[in-house]
Structures are given as structure tokens and as C-alpha cells.
Structure 1
Amino acid sequence: MSTHPMPLFRYIAAPLAIVVGTIPAHASEHDEQIWTSMTGTTTLFDNVDATLELHGRYTDEVSRLGQVLIRPSLTLRLPRGWSATAGYVYVHTRFARTVANEEHRAWEQVAYIFKQDRATGLSISGRTRVEQRFRSDSEGVGWRLRQQLRAQLPLPRGPLRVVVWNETFVGLNTTRWDRHKGIDQVRTFIGASLPVAEGITIEPGYLNQTVFRIGPDRVNHILATNVFIRF
């Protein structure tokens, strides 16, 4: 009996992709992937947090590790659920039939809460992030805006929460290594949030990533698992 995960993943991803409804009709390239991440956060001062994120993304039908991200940051917690964050990202990418490249990013972010309903537990929040992107093999600084909206709702019984979020990436300029300006990609996630121990939460689910390119667009169907640790 085969132990390859992709047949089961196809049965899970296909109906979820229909529900999410983010796949454009003209998209012609699809891939099945697995993304994993671990985020650790600790308090440095009364209102300042330090965070380190580690991401591994398995691409080309989960045949190999195609992308690695390391993202440290500092967050200033503000009144009424607001926060301001600044950080750095190292990105190593190697997709099929391409040469590996390294990208460095500086980024700034503001996060906020739109709604916090005590009666139902419904939470709607957002974040606005700006990135300055550098490539080690080419010149130019790419500026990109990322806007995320997130909603989570606890189930009537138990600690499980349903999570839905959407993030749109917008290129603000062009460079020698990235000539695409405008909407770069859209990510939509539907899954769950489950506390498994004190300070540890996991969020598994389906992530649809649609990447808009000069040629055929690319749609990635992703089984995502995110682990959050607070210590």
C-alpha cells in the first residue's frame, strides 16, 4: 500500500478549493504543496515582544523543500489591541527548473482589531505590512504592500476555533528581478486553531495561493500547519 500523502491531500484540497473560490478561470499551472511554520514569541519588556518565525515550504507536489524563510521581529504592543512591528526576513528559494536565489527583506507592520465580541467570541482583526525586498544576485529594491484580514470564531463546545483569513500582496514598483507591478498574489486560508498545551497553539488547514504572473498564473493548493509558541 502506498504511503504517499498526495492522494489523500487531493481529496481534501479539491472541495476546499471550490469553497474558497479564489481560483481564476484562466489559471493554467497548479501545484500541491505542504507549508510548515513555527513561531516563537517572548516578552522582552512590559509592552515589547521578540518573535522568531521559521518556515519550510515543500513544493513540486511535495517532492522537495522549495523555500525556507527565517523572520525575526520586534513588536510594540499598543492600547486597544493595536501593535507596531519591525523585522527582517531571509528567504532561500529554489523551484523546479530554476536557479536558487536568496532574498533579504526589511518590513514594517501595523496590526489592529476591528471587532471583539465577548458574547460569541468572534474576533476580526487585520494587519498592514510593507516590505523592502533585496536580491543578492541583482540590483534594485522592490517595495510590496501586504494586507491581511482574519476572522476566528470558537465552536460552542471545546477550545477549537474556526479560522479564516485572506492576504493580498501588491507590488508597488518594478525592479530588474521583478517586473510585476500591482496585485502579486492572493492567499486564502480556512482551518482551525487549537491550543494543545500552555502557551502552544497549532493552526492546521487549507491554504490557496494564487500567484499572478506575466505568463500563466500559478495556483498552489497547500496543506498548511502553523505552530505558535508563547514563552
Structure 2
Amino acid sequence: MMAFKYLITGFLMTMIMVFPLQLHATEHESGVWTIFSTTDSLSADGGTSRWHYWFDAQARYVDVGSGTNQWLVRPAVGYEIRDGVKAWAGFARFRSRNGAGRVADENRYWQQLDWRAGGWLDGNVSMRVRLEQRSIDVGEDLGVVLRFMTKYVRPLSGHEDKSLIIGLEPFVDLRDTDWGGDAGLGQNRVFVGMGWRLSDKVSLETGYMNQYIWVDGAADRTNHLAILTIKARL
């Protein structure tokens, strides 16, 4: 319990430290992200296994109408180390197109540890740490990114199939690259939304994400994003 209190304190301190850095001039854009995600345990002799699968696909439309689009597919396999703690290894293929029509392809190998941190204010907190190795066809350097996500989910009173969702995820670039800028804090994502459990196997999450991106040598960017996520167990 004491360790969990430290985690919550760290989460709140991160929010306090991150937001003051965003008080200078930025460029603002609006967009929409659509996401399909599926994850579950693999069957083993008619039962469940400690092995899990993961797959998500995303279509991102940033600065709607400008032609700036992003697409991502991300499979992975995971192993449940103990109850509520999983280790993952996966690959992601990321393609982006800017307003001028230039396309860039990126490969991302990634490793992740996620766990249930505990209960808080009638809800549940989960956390994950992800390490990504990124290579892109418009640059030669390998980018290494550390991501730390904290997610809070609280069922609404009298509506157990509906939940309040709050998420925070800072990204830290661990090395300089010739295509992604200098090492340091790269971006921060804050999400506030709602979740609906549509059936035993399908749920829906929708809400607002503030994505703040630190840009070396230019104005930082803030993306105001509508998020629509469909989650399913196959």
C-alpha cells in the first residue's frame, strides 16, 4: 500500500512538472485518431495460458483537411509473470504523410512491462513502461524512446458498464538522432474520456487527448485530438 501511495504521488508530481513547461508559444492543431485494439490470453489445452497476444491498428488524422495522416499496426506477444504483471515484446510499422505529400516509413521494436498498481478513489490504476527502438527511412540514426503511462479507470456510480478514464503518458528520447532532434522530453499525452462495455468481448473508449510535442529549433506543437477506440477479445 505504501508503494502504491508513492506511485500516485509520482504521477501527480509528473503532471505538475510537465504542464508548466507548456506555457510558452505553441502551434495548435486539431485532429482525430481511430484505434482498434485486441488482446487476450492464448488458449492452452482448452484453458487459458500465461501467454498473451496483442494487436492494434490506428489511423490518425492530424490537422484535419491538411493531408497530414499517420497509420500504425502493432502486434506483440506477452507473458504473465504473475497476477496482474505482464511482459511484452513486439513490433510496430508506422507510416506518416505530411501536408506536402511526403511519406516516411518507420519500424519500431518495443518491449513493455505493465501492471495493476492498485485501487484509488473507487477506481483502479494501471501502469506501463515501454522501451522503443525506432528506425526511419529518412534518417540513419536509431532512436530510443522511453514511455511511461499511468491510467486511471473509475466505474460510474449506478452504471457499472460505464467508466471515467484518465491517462498520462510522457515520452523521453534517450538519444539524439539526425531525424528526431535532441535527447530529452519529446512529448506528453493527457487523455480524459469515457468507456462503455458493450458486451463481454467488446468495449468502446472515446474522449479528448492533449498531445504536446517539444520541437527543437522551432515552435512546439499542441494537438487537440478526438479519440475513438474499439477494444475486442477475439
What band does the TM-score fall into relative to the shorter chain? 0.7 to 0.9
Decide whether aligned partners of structure 1 residues 62 and 123 sit closer, same or farther in structure 2, where only a CA change above 3 A counts. Answer: farther
Secondary structure of the 1:197 match is coil
* Uncovered stretches (5+) of structure 1, i.e. residues with no partner: 1-20
Do the aligned residues in 1 keep the contact of 2:149 with 2:168 (CA within 8 Å)? yes
Do the aligned residues in 2 keep the contact of 1:133 with 1:142 (CA within 8 Å)? yes
Q: Which amino acid aligns with 1:136?
A: D
Equivalent residues in 2 for 1:61-210 (5 A)? 61-64=64-67, 66-97=69-100, 99-116=102-119, 121-158=122-159, 159-210=161-212
Do the aligned residues in 1 keep the contact of 2:69 with 2:98 (CA within 8 Å)? yes
**TM-score, normalisation: structure 1:** 0.85
Do the aligned residues in 2 keep the contact of 1:205 with 1:225 (CA within 8 Å)? yes
Q: Which amino acid aligns with 1:172?
A: L
Q: CA deviation at 1:137?
A: 3.0
Report the Cα distance in structure 2 between the residues aligned to 1:152 and 1:170, rounded to whole angstroms: 25
1:230 aligns with 2:228: no
Decide whether aligned partners of structure 1 residues 98 and 213 sit closer, same or farther in structure 2, where only a CA change above 3 A counts. Answer: farther
Identity of aligned residues (%): 28
Secondary structure of the 2:83 match is helix
Secondary structure of the 1:190 match is strand
Q: Which amino acid aligns with 2:24?
A: H
Decide whether aligned partners of structure 1 residues 213 and 225 sit closer, same or farther in structure 2, where only a CA change above 3 A counts. Answer: same
Decide whether aligned partners of structure 1 residues 138 and 63 sit closer, same or farther in structure 2, where only a CA change above 3 A counts. Answer: closer
Report the Cα distance in structure 1 between the residues aligned to 2:40 and 2:26, rounded to whole angstroms: 43
1:216 aligns with 2:219: yes
Do the aligned residues in 1 keep the contact of 2:25 with 2:220 (CA within 8 Å)? yes
Equivalent residues in 2 for 1:14-93 (5 A)? 24-45=22-43, 46-64=49-67, 66-93=69-96
**TM-score, normalisation: structure 2:** 0.84
Secondary structure of the 1:160 match is strand
Q: Which amino acid aligns with 2:200?
A: E
Q: Which amino acid aligns with 2:148?
A: Q
Q: CA deviation at 1:80?
A: 3.1
Q: CA deviation at 1:97?
A: 3.4
Do the aligned residues in 2 keep the contact of 1:36 with 1:55 (CA within 8 Å)? yes
Q: Which amino acid aligns with 2:172?
A: V
Do the aligned residues in 1 keep the contact of 2:67 with 2:99 (CA within 8 Å)? no
State the partner residue of 1:4. Answer: none
Secondary structure of the 2:22 match is coil
Q: CA deviation at 1:77?
A: 1.6
Report the Cα distance in structure 2 between the residues aligned to 1:79 and 1:56, rounded to whole angstroms: 33
Q: Which amino acid aligns with 1:109?
A: Q
Instruction: Output the aligned Cα RMSD.
Output: 1.8
Q: CA deviation at 1:121?
A: 4.5
Do the aligned residues in 1 keep the contact of 2:67 with 2:101 (CA within 8 Å)? no
Q: Which amino acid aligns with 1:32?
A: S
Report the Cα distance in structure 2 between the residues aligned to 1:182 and 1:227, rounded to whole angstroms: 32
CA deviations over 1:88-108 (Å, ceiling 9, x no partner): 010000122362100000000
- Larger strand share, 1 or 2: 2
Q: CA deviation at 1:86?
A: 0.6
* Uncovered stretches (5+) of structure 2, i.e. residues with no partner: 1-18, 44-48
Matched length: 209
Do the aligned residues in 2 keep the contact of 1:36 with 1:225 (CA within 8 Å)? yes
Q: CA deviation at 1:41?
A: 2.2
Q: Which amino acid aligns with 2:115?
A: Y
Decide whether aligned partners of structure 1 residues 166 and 151 sit closer, same or farther in structure 2, where only a CA change above 3 A counts. Answer: same
